[in-house]
Amino acid sequence: QSALTQPPSSSGTPGQRVTLSCSGSTSNIGSNPVNWYQQFPGTAPKLLIFTYSQRPSGVPDRFSGTKSGTSASLAISDLQSEDEADYYCAAWDDSLNAWVFGGGTRLTVL
Amino acid sequence: QLQLQESGPGLVRPSETLSLTCTVSGDSISSTGHYWAWIRQPPGKGLEWIGSIYYNGSPFYNPSLKSRATISVDTSKNQFSLRVTSVTASDTAVYYCARLKGVAVADFWGQGTLIAVSA
């Protein structure tokens, strides 16, 4: 049982905007920055968004992050076929004294 | 260009100790502001943080591993290592090493190494 809850799957069509959710609590998302990772099958995760909405160099501005209370969201605009991947949210949890990840959302581009 | 490379045995017997090393190139493991971490991913499942270390500080661990994990740093070799004792089948996973910005942002990852626990 992950401290951060993500829907197991989501889908969209090319050009669409999709939003992936991540639900937590006051001890993690409510009080610490949220980060998002993208993972393709058989490869290591890649940092996509950090500190809620910052993008590392090279990450397209189609990807954006927001936070509201104890939930966070990753929005992908102008969805492309190469965005089909698993997406994980993560944050430090002050109660567990641990860095926690969501269970991940598999995004399918139809 | 920063690179991290995990190395390990591939197969570990139940109840034995798993040992992995992460070799860092393109950056000094002693560089300020960066922690170094181990994260694992069981087949078909999500990511689990194992623990982190600063080059000159104490390591800190995920309490869920119940003190079975030990992380250490060898600055002379620009490496950091992981040991997990008393392994069981549930420790079977791809193990990743990563560089952290602060304590909880992994900005560079190794390619990962699959460790299977089996008799």
- Are residues A95 and A27 in contact, defined by beta-carbon separation less than 8 angstroms? yes
What is the rounded distance in angstroms from the CA atom of residue A8 to the CA atom of residue B37?
26
pLDDT in tens, chain B (119 residues): 899 999 999 999 999 999 999 999 998 898 777 899 999 999 999 999 999 999 887 899 999 998 999 999 999 999 999 999 999 999 999 999 999 988 889 999 999 999 999 99
Angle at A61 between CA A10 and CA A8, to 5 degrees: 15
Q: Tell whether the model's pLDDT for residue A80 goes beyond 80.
A: yes
- Is the pLDDT assigned to residue A24 strictly greater than 90? yes
Return the percentage of chain A with pLDDT > 70, whole number: 100
Determine the Cα–Cα distance for residues B76 and A95; give it in Å rounded to an integer.
Answer: 36
Residue numbers in B near A32 (CB within 8 A)? 104
Confidence of residue A104 (pLDDT cuts 50, 70, 90): very high
- B35 forms beta bridges with B100
Q: Which residues 27-46 in chain A show a CB within 8 A of chain B?
A: 32-33, 35, 37, 43-46
For residue B105, give the nearest of A35, A98, A101 by CB distance: A35
Residues of chain A with Cβ-Cβ distance to B112 below 8 Å are 44
**pLDDT band (50, 70, 90) for residue A98:** very high
Residue A94 · residue A32 · CB < 8 Å:
yes
Which residue among A97, A102, A103 places its CB closest to the CB of B63?
A97
Contacts with B110 from chain A: Cβ below 8 Å: 44
Provide the pLDDT for residue A73: 97
Q: Report d(CA A32, CA B49) in Å as an integer.
A: 16
Do the Cβ atoms of A104 and B110 come within 8 Å? no
Which percentage of chain B shows pLDDT scores above 70?
Answer: 100
- Looking at residues A80-100, what average pLDDT do you find? 97
Cβ–Cβ contact B22 with A under 8 A: no
The closest CB to that of A101, out of B49, B107, B110, belongs to B49
Q: Is the pLDDT of residue A1 over 80?
A: no
Instruction: Give the mean pLDDT of chain A.
Output: 96
| Residue B73 confidence (pLDDT) | 94
pLDDT surpasses 80 at A93: yes
Q: How far apart are CA B80 and CA B57, in angstroms?
A: 13
Sign for the pseudo-dihedral over CA of B83, B87, B91, B92: positive
pLDDT in tens, A33-72: 999 999 999 999 999 999 889 999 999 999 999 999 999 9
